[in-house]
Amino acid sequence: MAHDAVEVDFDEARARLRVNGLRVFDDHDIGNSLTLGLGLPGDMGFPYPAIAPVAPVHATVSFDVEWNGIVATAQIHNSAQSFKGSFLSTGATIRWSVEQPGFRFETETPNPGRNLVSVLGREQNGVFFT
C-alpha cells in the first residue's frame, strides 16, 4: 500500500484512506480463510455448521474511507495502564469494490446517515507514555 494512501488532519477531524487495486486472495468465507481453503467438518464436539472447502482465488480490492466532522470528543488518561489519548467521534463513509475473474462487486453510494460510530484518535502508551 502506498504511503500517501493515508491522509490525516486530526485538528480538523478529517482523515482519508484510499487504496486502489490491492491484490488479495478471496477466501470465500471466514472458515476457509482460517483453514487456508480446507473448510470445517462441522463435527468437532460443539455446534457449528460444516463449511465446504473452497480454494482461494486472486482478487483485487479498492476502497475509499473518509472520516469527517466532530460528533463528540473524549480525553482518556490511565496512568495505571500507561495509556492516554485524545479521541474524536466523527462521521464516516466508505466506498468499497472487489474484482476477480467473472465477478465484480461495488458498494452503493456512501450514505453518512448509515454510520453508527467512527473514531479518530491520537494515543500514547508503553514506552511512549509520559
pLDDT tens, 79-98?
A: 999 999 999 999 999 999 99
Q: What is the pTM (predicted TM-score) of this model?
A: 0.78
- How many CB atoms lie under 10 A from the CB of residue 32? 21
Q: Identify the pLDDT of residue 48.
A: 77
Q: Identify the pLDDT of residue 2.
A: 83
Residues 6+ apart with CB under 8 A from 116: none
- How many CB atoms lie under 10 A from the CB of residue 67? 21
Largest separation between any pair of C-alpha atoms in the chain: 54
Q: Which domain holds residue 20?
A: 3-128
Ranking 43-52, 61-70, 73-82 by mean pLDDT, the lowest is 43-52
What percentage of residues in the chain have a pLDDT greater than 90?
71
Mean pLDDT for the stretch of residues 94-108: 96
Question: Looking at this protein, which amino acid is placed at residue 44?
Answer: M
Which strand (E) or helix (H) includes residue 40? none
The DSSP annotation for 88-101 comes to EEEEEEEEEEEEET
Residues 23-33 have pLDDT tens digits of 999 998 988 89
Of 40 and 16, more confident: 16
What grid cell was written down for 10? Answer: 486530526
Question: Looking at this protein, which amino acid is placed at residue 15?
Answer: A
First-to-last alpha carbon distance for the chain, in angstroms, is 32
Number of domains observed in the structure of the chain: 1
The overall average pLDDT reported for the chain is 92
Mean pLDDT for the stretch of residues 50-54: 91
Q: Identify the pLDDT of residue 102.
A: 95
> Is the pLDDT reported for residue 45 higher than 80?
no
Bridge partners (DSSP) of residue 121 are 87
For residue 21, the SS3 value is strand
Could you give the CA distance from residue 62 to residue 45 in angstroms, rounded to a whole number?
39
